Amino acid sequence: MQISTHDLKAKIIESLKLQDITPEQIDDDAPLFGTGLGLDSIDALELVVLLEKDYGIVIKDIEEGRPAFRSVKTLAEFIAAKRPQ
């Protein structure tokens, strides 16, 4: 099932308590970490919690999650593929 990137961005903003930024201002392909949205390692952990809370996806291996956390687009694709039916 497809995941709306707009909804995912809204969840990221809410979960990470980002201020002065709207979903529209986040590029689907922009890197989440470092440049782009500028998230850090604590945010990565918070995103792992978000995936479990909101989508029922448990990341047990960091290597599994690493490619998913490249951008909003890759994260949405990961959720769509892993989300329990």
Partner 1 sequence: MVRSSLAMNKKIVIAAASVVTEADLASARLGQRFGRLDLQSRLALLAVAALKIDFATLPADRIGICLAASAGSLTTDFNFWNGRGGVGGPSPTQFAYTLPSAAVGEIAIHFGLTGPNLCFVGDDKNLLPEAADWIRSDKVGGCLCVFCEVVSSEIAKIISAPAAPTACALFIRSAEAVQGLLELREFDRDMKALCALISQTKSAG
Site residues (CB under 8 A) for partner 1?
16-21, 38, 42-43, 45-46, 48-50, 52-53
Angle at 6 between CA 77 and CA 81, to 5 degrees: 15
Nearest distance in Å: CB 14, partner 1: 10
9 and 36 Cβ atoms separated by less than 8 Å: no
User: Least distance (Å) from partner 1 to the CB of residue 48?
Assistant: 7
Residue 67's nearest CA partner among 81, 52, 50, 55 is 81
Nearer to partner 1, 4 or 22 (CB): 22
Min dist. Cβ of residue 18 to partner 1 (A): 6
